[in-house]
Amino acid sequence: MNAMNFIINSTMKLPSTLLNLRNALFLGSRHRFNPPCCEDKLFYKSKASLLNFSKNSQFHAYPSRFVGFQRVINNAQKFNCLPSSLFARPRAVPMPYGFSVQAVIASKVRDLSTSVETGRNDKNFERIHVQNGINVKTLVERIDTDKNLVGRENPLTEDGNNVKNIGEGLGKGKNGVSIDRFPVGTVAANDPGDKQPLNYDQVFIRDFVPSALAFLLKGEGGILKNFLLHTLQLQSWEKTVDCYSPGQGLMPASFKVRTVPIDDNKFEEVLDPDFGESAIGRVAPVDSGLWWIILLRAYGRITGDYSLQERVDVQTGMKLILNLCLADGFDMFPSLLVTDGSCMIDRRMGIHGHPLEIQALFYAALRSSREILSVNEGSKNLVRAINNRLNALSFHIREYYWVDMKKINEIYRYKTEEYSMDATNKFNIYPEQIPSWLMDWVPEEGGYLIGNLQPAHMDFRFFTLGNLWSIVSSLSTPKQNEAILNLIENKWDDIVGHMPLKICYPAVENEEWRIITGSDPKNTPWSYHNGGSWPTLLWQFTLACVKMGRLELAQKAIALAEKRLSRDHWPEYYDTRSGKFIGKQSRLYQTWTIAGFLTSKMMVENREMASLLFWEEDYELLEICVCALSKSGWVKCSRGAAKSQILV
């Protein structure tokens, strides 16, 4: 029995339901699950079949297995929204930063990547098609005629733990999801006593991240490969709210597998994605595409298999996400402008604007793309845009989001209504905005990145995920990284308490709670997103501690979680100021709770492999100055002076 199985069986005494999940996450290497699945032997369905299918369902027709951006058009919905005369009108799809696709010239697909898979006939490469209609999108479809590359694993017998092979354990187990017997993810939760699962029975891109890393650290990367390719197919699939579609490149928040009839006595498994059109609040997920790019990098670095990153369809999918994030808009800041509820905090919590969590994930995704994006004539402008944005974003966050005792005292003495290029109070922050709790809370030897920054508004709440990912991605400086962990250690009872870790601190209460949350009965003070404690944040805390050489903090937090998680049946979150009680609406048997715990244990035990997941400071990147003022000579750029202060 391997070490991890021994830890789980000897120290945690998992209930039988969780044994299924444990084995789904950690079956031995003899259960290989790297079938070519969706990357080979891809074929078209007949046009009549597609039309017939679209009239009966809005789900994704999976057996066609287009690795790219297949969109099954629901004709009935289309004709209800728009006049038929518009459907014959082809529409160009604008691609900023020089990324474009010539739909009628198949050879142009090589412009999308400098690397393609070897051993294939040129005629079998990805082909580009454009459909006529109001929602014309570029599709990259793999057509592979090499039948020898297609296979299916033979069914295996049950192992010593009475759990079937990885395909069965994940595909038909309590917590696993598979399609055509290939594992593609894990459901968000599987509480046997839950009569209304809502969307917790779906695979969330965000929630699957700790499970994916657990598989990778265990040496089983096939499920993540399947997951990346399957979700790629759902990118920007046709989903609407009031006949309006989101931008091209958007990744779904979640998906589920359904079995639907296609002909008499014939059924097929299909993917049904949710882009937010069914979610509470109808908010599209901004972080899904960012997590997808981060996982793509993690897969290559840990498995050593970089062929997935080099595929034309994968490169194209990554470019679509980047184009969506880097598109020019009305905003003056390099940070990403998003609506409330567009990330892990997916309900109204006053984080609209430029929340730190999104900026940290955005920075990590940009750095991942910088590593794995194929550089050629067709992508050089995109690469330049990535470098410029990385430089501007790091400066912006480090300079304006950082607070410690020194910075708070500076804000306390701010002058307002400053109109000039040399203004100190650039965002017109009023000193009265400094909350009373902050004065005594920030320690002398610590600091953190605030939750949000907008004109005349600083959100001084401590958001754990954003600060941890700023450490992991090196969005914050080495000095700031140390200060963040020092603050967590100093304020351990507030941020960790009885269960790691608070999603934010402090909670909003009383009239502030009514105004900010809209009197949300789920986000009551010290519950759920409003100061609740989320065990899944443990793996990100552990990764930050591994990077900064503070293992004692990670081990202390892991020990706290180990005492209660199994006994409490792996809750989604905990309530109260110290995280003492299971959340009043917390789902039990939460997959990312157990996966986050197991991933944390493995990171501590294998720090060398964990180091492949974080980023070190990129000093070359910091030397890139994109300030237009310095080039014009009109006003001297102050970036050099700022660097000298915060990068020491």
Cα–Cα dist 489/505, whole Å? 14
Which pLDDT does position 25 carry in this prediction? 54
Phi and psi at 416, nearest 5°, equal -110, 175
Contacts of 492 (CB under 8 A, 6+ apart): none
Contact 485, 545 (CB under 8 A): yes
Which of 387, 328, 390 has the alpha carbon at shortest distance from 364? 390
Q: What angle do CA 501, 504, 507 make, to 5 degrees?
A: 120
Scan for tokens 């209304």, then name that residue. 196
Residue 384's pLDDT is: 94
- In a domain? residue 245: yes
Given a cut of 70, whether residue 259 has pLDDT beyond it is: yes
Position 227 in a domain = yes
Both tokens of 371, joined, read 């590593």
Strands 447-454 and 457-463: antiparallel
Asked if residues 595 and 210 have their Cβ atoms less than 8 Å apart, the reply is yes
Mind listing the pLDDT tens digit for each residue in 459-492? Answer: 999 999 999 999 999 999 999 999 999 999 999 9
pLDDT band at residue 450 under the 50/70/90 scheme: very high
**Residue 629: burial class (beta carbons within 10 Å; 0-12, 13-18, 19+):** middle
Place 319 in a pLDDT band, splitting at 50, 70 and 90.
very high
For residues 239 and 71, the answer to whether their CB atoms sit within 8 Å is no
Helix 356-372 vs helix 380-400: crossing angle, to nearest 10: 150
Cα 610 to the center of its chain, rounded Å: 18
Encode pLDDT of 41-88 as tens digits.
332 233 333 333 333 444 443 333 333 333 333 333 333 343 333 333
Q: Name 510's Cβ contacts closer than 8 Å, sequence gap at least 6.
A: none
Q: Which helix (H) or strand (E) holds 2?
A: none
pLDDT, tens digit, 9 for 90 and up, residues 232-246:
999 866 666 777 777
**Residue-level pLDDT at 643:** 54
Q: How far apart are CA 306 and CA 638, in angstroms?
A: 40
Residue 562: C-alpha distances to residues 440, 491, 539, 555, 596 (Å)? 32, 21, 13, 10, 12
Distance CA 94, CA 100 (A): 8
Q: Is residue 224 part of a domain?
A: yes
Read off the tokens for 136: 């014309």
Q: Which tokens hold the place of 396?
A: 């912006």
Beta-carbon neighbour count of residue 244 at 10 Å? 8
Residue 207 lies in a domain: yes
Across residues 197-208, what is the average pLDDT? Answer: 92
Beta strands in 76-222 (DSSP E): 127-130, 138-141, 176-179, 182-186, 203-204
Q: Are 534 and 572 in contact (CB under 8 A)?
A: yes
Residue 564 domain flag: no
Tokens of 482: 């140390």
Q: What is the mean pLDDT of the chain?
A: 77
629: preceding bond cis by omega (within 30 degrees): no
Q: What angle do CA 311, 315, 319 make, to 5 degrees?
A: 170
Nearest to 505 by CA among 465, 545, 477: 465
Strand partners, 615: none
Q: Which token pair is 447?
A: 């600091």
Q: How far is CA 263 from CA 39, 48, 50, 59, 266, in A?
A: 26, 12, 12, 16, 5
Is 320 a residue whose pLDDT tops 50? yes
From the CB of residue 363, how many other CB atoms can be counted at a distance below 10 Å?
26
What DSSP string runs through 449-495? EEEEEETTEEEEEEEHHHHHHHHHHT-S-HHHHHHHHHHHHHTHHHH
Q: Which residue has the higher pLDDT, 83 or 197?
A: 197
Q: How far apart are CA 644 and CA 239, in angstroms?
A: 48
What is residue 239's predicted lDDT score, i.e. its pLDDT? Answer: 65
Rounded to whole angstroms, the Cα distance separating 532 from 535 reads 10
CB of 446 closer than 8 Å to CB of 490: yes
Q: Full-prediction pTM beyond 0.95? A: no
Which pLDDT score is estimated for 172?
37
pLDDT at site 89: 33
pLDDT score of 23 = 56
CB 343 within 8 A of CB 285: yes
Residue 570 has what DSSP assignment?
-
Maximum C-alpha span of the chain: 76
In this predicted structure, the answer to whether residue 587 has a pLDDT above a threshold of 90 is yes
What was the pLDDT predicted at 396? 95
Strongest mean pLDDT among 151-160, 187-196, 357-366, 416-425: 357-366
Cα–Cα distance, 121 to 634 (Å, whole number): 56
More confident call, 145 vs 368? 368
Structural domain including 256 reads 172-285
More confident call, 98 vs 64: 98
DSSP for 149-160, written as a single string: G---PPP----T
Reported as a single tens digit per residue, the pLDDT across 260-269 is 888 888 888 8
Question: How far is the first Cα of the chain from the last one, in angstroms, to the nearest whole number?
Answer: 48
Q: Is residue 450 assigned to a domain?
A: no
User: What ranges in 172-221 are assigned the alpha helix state H?
Assistant: 205-218
Query: Lowest-confidence range among 145-149, 285-289, 360-364?
Result: 145-149
At residue 422, the pLDDT reads: 84
- Quote the number of domains for the chain: 1
Q: Which amino acid is at 173?
A: G
Q: What pLDDT score was predicted for residue 139?
A: 25
| Percent of the residues in the chain that have a pLDDT greater than 90, as a whole number | 56
AA letter at 535: P
Q: What mean pLDDT comes out for the span 160-165?
A: 32
Percent of the chain with pLDDT over 70: 69
- Does the structure show a pLDDT above 60 at 500? yes
Please report how many Cα atoms fall inside a 13 Å half-sphere around the Cα of residue 264, on the Cβ side. 0
With a CB cutoff of 8 Å and minimum separation 6, the contacts of 32 are 153, 222
Which pLDDT score, from 0 to 100, does residue 476 have?
96
The pLDDT, as a whole number, for residue 463 is: 98
Which of 176-190, 205-219, 434-448 has the weakest average pLDDT? 176-190
Task: Please give the Cα distance from 633 to 291 (Å, whole number).
Answer: 40
123 or 531: whose pLDDT is higher? 531
394 token code pair: 């790091």
pLDDT at 646: 52
User: Per the domain annotation, does 252 fall within a domain?
Assistant: yes
Please write down the HEC assignment for all residues of 4-67. Answer: HHHHHHHHHCCCHHHHHHHHHHCCCCCCCCCCCHHHCCCCCCCHHHHHHHHHHCCCECHHHCCC
DSSP run (H or E) holding 262: strand 254-263
